[in-house]
């Protein structure tokens, strides 16, 4: 077996090293497959399925976690693939508040997703966690992409402050036993906020400015209560 595998993507021949994902092989050809949960500096998990492609199997596969094999024929833009992406986006829009997710908004437009198609579906409505001076956690805007959990764990920080809680539709990101962030192993590095593709994790000061507070007010209000007494 050689070091490379040869396959076709959208009719174009490409040769890539063993272990290369379809997403990476397509990029080599200049074919951009849309992603939501995928981040180039984090482990791919194939959670959102927006990068679904057709490889002739019974079901479409996530291009970010499926490796290329010899003779594979990949279609990244067939009608079925487009329909699947549109449906996934419509389900996401029915459940989660995506107002602060510009990249997903762009995809909703691109795939002509009907945001009201599943309007009778259950919404994720949870209170905002305001439990530390640095960032807010609004999981009504969370798409469970897993980026924050990974960057807090083996992919970067090794703090393991964030995890998944619940099962099925009730699955949310949270802390061990629901502890407030200051009681966890969080070191407030901010990397989770940096990789969040929605407004689910947001710097507290930014949030206060968006609410119309002045920079001085925002700085004061973002401080922990003990500090505010001293101010």
The torsion angles phi and psi of 152, rounded to 5 degrees, stand at -80, -15
Q: Does 146 bind ligand SF4 (CB under 6 A)?
A: yes
CB 138 within 8 A of CB 200: yes
Query: Which one of the spans 59-67, 102-110, 118-126, 145-153 is the region binding ligand SF4 (CB under 6 A)?
Result: 145-153
Structure tokens at 221: 């209000």
Query: Which one of the spans 6-14, 78-86, 107-115, 191-199 is the region binding ligand SF4 (CB under 6 A)?
Result: 191-199
Structure tokens at 224: 């922990």
Interface pattern 166-185 for ligand SF4 (x via CB under 6 A): -------x------------
List, as one string, the DSSP characters of 179-221.
--GGGSS-----HHHHH-SSSSEEEHHHHHHHTT--HHHHHHH
CA angle 96, 97, 102 (to 5 degrees): 110
Query: Which one of the spans 23-31, 56-64, 117-125, 139-147 is the region binding ligand SF4 (CB under 6 A)?
Result: 139-147
Which of 198, 202, 205, 218 touches ligand SF4 (CB under 6 A)?
198
Q: Does 153 bind ligand SF4 (CB under 6 A)?
A: no
In the complex, the smallest distance separating the C-beta of residue 96 from ligand SF4, rounded to whole angstroms, is 8
By beta-carbon proximity to ligand SF4, the closer residue of 9 and 42 is 42
Which of 49, 86, 147, 205 touches ligand SF4 (CB under 6 A)?
147
Q: Does 152 bind ligand SF4 (CB under 6 A)?
A: no
Q: Does 222 bind ligand SF4 (CB under 6 A)?
A: no
Which of 5, 68, 200, 218 touches ligand SF4 (CB under 6 A)?
200
Strands 163-165 and 172-174: antiparallel
DSSP state, 227?
Answer: H
CB 33 within 8 A of CB 23: yes
Nearest Cα neighbor of 178 from 160, 162, 196, 200 is 162
Which of 196, 208, 218, 222 touches ligand SF4 (CB under 6 A)?
196
CB 27 within 8 A of CB 35: no
Which of 142, 181, 186, 222 touches ligand SF4 (CB under 6 A)?
142
- Between residue 72 and residue 131, which ones bind ligand SF4 under the rule CB under 6 A? none
């Amino acid at each position: 077996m050689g070091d490379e595998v040869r396959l076709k993507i959208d009719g174009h021949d490409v040769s890539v090293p063993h272990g290369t994902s379809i997403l990476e092989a397509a990029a080599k050809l200049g074919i951009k497959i849309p992603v939501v949960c995928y981040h180039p500096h984090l482990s791919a998990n194939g959670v959102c399925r927006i990068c679904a492609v057709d490889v002739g199997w019974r079901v479409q596969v996530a291009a970010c976690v499926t490796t290329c094999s010899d003779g594979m024929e990949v279609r990244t833009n067939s009608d079925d693939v487009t329909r699947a992406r549109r449906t996934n986006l419509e389900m996401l829009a029915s459940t989660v508040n995506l107002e602060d997710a510009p990249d997903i908004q762009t995809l909703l437009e691109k795939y002509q997703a009907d945001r009201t198609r599943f309007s009778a579906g259950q919404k994720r409505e949870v209170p905002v966690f305001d439990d530390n001076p640095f960032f807010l956690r609004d999981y009504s805007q969370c798409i469970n992409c897993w980026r924050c959990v990974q960057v807090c764990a083996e992919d970067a920080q090794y703090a393991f402050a964030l995890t998944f809680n619940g099962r099925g539709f009730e699955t949310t990101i949270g802390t061990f036993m629901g502890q407030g962030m200051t009681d966890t192993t969080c070191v407030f590095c901010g990397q989770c906020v940096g990789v969040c593709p929605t407004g689910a994790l947001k710097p507290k000061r930014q949030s206060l400015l968006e609410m119309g507070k002045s920079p001085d007010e925002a700085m004061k209000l973002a401080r922990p209560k003990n500090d505010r007494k001293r101010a």
